[in-house]
Structure 1
Amino acid sequence: MGGSCVPTLRRLPAWKRTGSRFRHPAQVISTGFGAAVATGTALLSLPAATQSGHRAPLVDALFTATSAVCVTGLVTVDTGSYWSGFGQVVILLLIQAGGLGIMTLATLFTVLLSRRLGLRARFLAQAETRSLSLTDVRGVVRRIVLFSLISEAVVAVVLTLRFATAYDESLGAAAYDGVFHAISAFNNAGFSTNVDSLVRYVTDPWINLTITGAVILGGLGFPVVFELLRCWRRPARWSVMTRLTVTLTATLLALGTLVFTLAEYANPRTLGPLSVPEKFLAGFFASTMTRTAGFNSVDIGAMRPESLLASDVLMFIGGGSAGTAGGIKVTTFGLLAFVLWSEMRGETHVNVGRRRIPPSNQRQALAVALLSATAVATATFVLVAITSYGLEPILFEVVSAFATVGLSTGITGSLPPQADLLLAVLMFAGRIGPLTLASALALRDRTRRYELPEERTIVG
């Protein structure tokens, strides 16, 4: 029998301390992200955070802080012209903190200060990093931070050189733009210092491919990346999560590129004026950004309805688990697809490759999908009722917020304050995860100590 590239799983005792206010790591993670949003809101509310020197409205500060911590990219004001250098640095730090995970950073600080990591901290780090074993959480956190910083540094160097040599930017300005976009891209945030995002670089393969590479790498998820580094020559020994993530990511990227390129091929407001290679480059960029980065190289508001619908679907699916992408995750989508396939074939178990998926995983995937669909449908209904916009742009905005994408048809800045607050709630829920947020709000675990009689019902 061949070995495995993933650690051996061990059944762990329930983590609960009697009398503790937080009975589940998810509660602490939710609180940590909430504290980061509150801190960011306070800092962005300072007069020094804006170009004008006046305090930003509380809704704008809260919305921007939430978007940054939740690595979304939706903005109510232009990042480059509205926020000062101090404000932009705050946004960048919030993006970095949100991308790595509040609990991951807290664990790293604990390791650096005390060189010790207690069981409670290990559980918190495991819940945030989605690592499968508690035996090496400290090493996992170190590798996450190191890998993230190295990746961002490489992307920043490439972008800096390109901005300086091809666009006549000074070295200082090029370095600032390079670092800002590198951190924003790797963390799938989509924030840009340019008012038109990356539209001005639509024909530049150096910038487009560098940004997309960072987005894909950050969106795969740290466990998948580490496993690929260990076992990239032996796909047969990949875990189920890695197989699903890599296969579906490649498939959705290819399908998205084809759909966007064909749908916008003759659109004079998007891909029409570009050459054939440039059309495919822009199509690939658009497909990647819906996975969920938020940059755009063409005007989203000028896209055809079929492209917007394809974007809604891709944004809702999202990227890899434990990465910086959002959505319900490709693993959730893949598991549901295998559940459907097994049901259609009349099989009693759901198998992926040579592994059987436990019923608990199937229920989790179903719960995440249904909770997410419910949140999107409810928010869309409310926003259609309280705004003057139609279903199409509102649905796009809602999915983009909940999936922490950051793409917009251009209506974000003109929405009423109550709509902005609702989108902020969606971004927060989407970053934490519907199932994680629900478990964080639960007061206690309930275990049924008896079984009820079974009865089948008609389905369909």
Structure 2
Amino acid sequence: MKALLHPARVVALVFLLVILLGTGLLMLPIAHAEGISAPWVTAFFTAVSAVCVTGLVVVDTGTYWSGFGQVVILMLFQLGGFGMMTLATLLGLMVNRSFRLRTKMVAQQESRTLAIGDVGSVAKLVLVVTLGMELLITLLLTVRLHLAYDLPLTEAAWSGLFHAISAFNNAGFSIHPDSLMRYASDALILLPVMTAIVIGGIGFPVLHDLRNRLRDPRHWSLHTKLTLSGTAVLLLCGFVGLLLSEWSNAATLGPMSVGDKVLSAAFASVSARTAGFNSIDIGALTHESWALHYLLMFVGGGSAGTAGGVKVGTVAILLLMVIAEIRGRGDTEAFGRRICAAAQRQAITVLVLGSAMVVIGTLFILRTTDIATDKVIFEVVSAFGTVGLSTGITADLPESSQLMLTLLMYVGRVGIVTLAVSLAMGERRMPYRYPEEHPIVG
């Protein structure tokens, strides 16, 4: 019983329970636009995609699901992005200000805070930032849609609310069949969405650190520095790479004005980091752009945010390890700090297990379909990174391949390390160590 209550296992089980609950709700006739019961695979896939804030869909969200069904989907990706354990922590704060140690440990497993004593503070920040950003983006989108596109106020408000919450949670769900392509030249729509994506995906520990030390960057934690610098590099490289690759592509940026090209390339770079919205046709991108998306989607965003992927901090640590090895340094260092050996082992573990999941998923789907390999890789990486971008093959995949994508989404959201720990029998410290030897490498 004690092993079952391990914080990592609680996180994994709660996400699974919410997925099953969402599946049941989406199978109700009231959730379908035509008043019939949706097939269980369709309902299950949609629930997993929503809870895991991915955005991959096998049916059009705006026409297949009724208003009730769309509300259920919205609630699922709100819960998934907000974090099951963070929500549990907030409920505990409302009832009783004092936590038991295990409750704090459970919340810490989800929020990735650096100290158990920070859980309450981070949980409050999650609530304030989430509601504040979602309300602000909803207001901006509603006003723009009502005034510029002549949508009735209620319709504009619903569209604004749905897309604002989806953007902040990096969910990628849209009630439009073309995602946000109809707004490709509208900066007043895309810029608020981009802002919500970045803030939601940067990670709450970073926001917590910035709130406390905004005017004193020298005292930011190493995690904050690595995340912010890594995010800036990825966004810039993604923007430049996509702009160059798609500049003359007649099916994407080619026909646009210079300003619209810059806007769409910037939006694509931001969205590729696990948001899942698109303002240009993903299926029409060049092969170079697809390859760039592989990298951006696999890396993802910041730890303990609404983004997926192996995380910016993980890749930053691995790159620093390579640099230290090339320079012949015994320690891996950054910003005047030494990175502990445990963090380095965790980074390697996340990369290896994440890569293994992508390879396994790709091989499985290739065996069950004759779709081009590059499109399958794109779909698999998108699912594992909980991105939601697609070249348009999701609905055409056989059910077995769609179920494989749900597994990838679940693992990508819960986290490789969290899932591995939740399945492990428990930590053991060996009372002995073997003699050390150095095998030949390379």
Q: TM-score range by the shorter chain?
A: over 0.9
Provide the aligned C-alpha RMSD in A. Answer: 0.9
Q: Given the alignment, which residue of 201, 215, 223 partners 1:241? A: 223
- Which of 170, 173, 176 pairs up with 1:194? 176
Distance 1:457 1:126 in 2: 37
Task: Name the counterpart of 2:44.
Answer: 62
The partner residue of 2:126 within 139, 144, 151 is 144
Give the Cα separation in 2 of the matches to 1:444 and 1:170.
56
Name structure 1 gaps, 5 residues minimum.
1-18
Identity of aligned residues (%): 49
Counterpart for residue 289 of structure 2: 307
Partner of 2:108: 126
Distance 1:415 1:309 in 2: 21
Matched, 1:342 2:317: no
Confirm or deny that 1:212 pairs with 2:186: no
Who is 1:270 aligned against?
A: 252
* Distance in 2 of aligned mates of 1:109 and 1:391: 46
Q: Using the alignment, how far apart are the partners of 1:162 and 1:57 within structure 2?
A: 37
Post-superposition CA distance 1:5-55 (Å, at most 9, x none)? xxxxxxxxxxxxxx4242521100000000010000000010000101110
Quick one: distance in 1 between partners of 2:102 and 2:239? Answer: 44
Deviation (angstroms), 1:207: 0.7
| Aligned-partner Cα distance in 1 for 2:120–2:322 | 38
Task: Give the CA deviation at 1:167.
Answer: 0.5
Q: Which whole-Å deviations, capped at 9, do the CAs of 1:67-125 have from their partners, x for residues lacking one? A: 00000000000000000000000000001100111111122222223443211111111
Give a deviation string over 1:252-301, Cα, whole Å, max 9, x none.
Answer: 11111111111010111100110111101100000000111000000000
Tell me the equivalent position of 2:266: 284
> 1:213-266 CA distances to partner (integer Å, 9 max, x unpaired)?
100000000110121233233222111111111111111111111111110101
Q: Which amino acid aligns with 1:184?
A: S
Match of 1:135, SS state, is helix
Distance across 2 between alignment mates of 1:458 and 1:352: 28
CA distance, structure 2, for counterparts of residue 318 and residue 112 of structure 1: 33
Q: Does 1:163 align with 2:131?
A: no
**Counterpart residue identity of residue 211, structure 2:** L
Query: Unaligned regions of 5+ residues in structure 2, if any?
Result: none
1:203 to 2:189 alignment: no
Which TM-score applies when normalising by structure 2?
Answer: 0.99
Matches of 2:13 and 2:5 in 1, distance apart? 13
Maintained 8 Å contact 2:122/2:208: no
How far did 1:435 drift?
1.1
Offset, 1:399: 0.1
Structure 2 Cα separation of the partners of residues 45 and 356 of structure 1: 52
Q: Work out whether 1:397 is the aligned partner of 2:383.
A: no
Matches within 5 A, 1:418-433: 418-433=400-415
Out of 316, 319, 328, the residue aligned to residue 310 of structure 2 is: 328
Q: Select between 353-362 and 116-125 the one with higher mean Cα deviation.
A: 116-125
1:8 alignment partner in structure 2: none
Aligned length: 442
- The answer on whether the counterparts of 1:66 and 1:428 sit within 8 Å (CA) in structure 2 is yes
Cα deviation digits, residues 346-391 of structure 1 (max 9, x gap): 0001111111111100000000000000100111011111111011
* 1:349 match: secondary structure: coil
| Deviation sequence 1:293-335 (CA, Å, 0-9, x none) | 0000000000000000000011001100110001000000000
Q: 2:26 corresponds to which residue? A: 44
Calculate the TM-score normalised by the size of structure 1. 0.95
Aligned partners of 1:23 and 1:443 also within 8 Å: no
Q: Work out the CA distance in 2 between the residues paired with 1:114 and 1:337.
A: 43
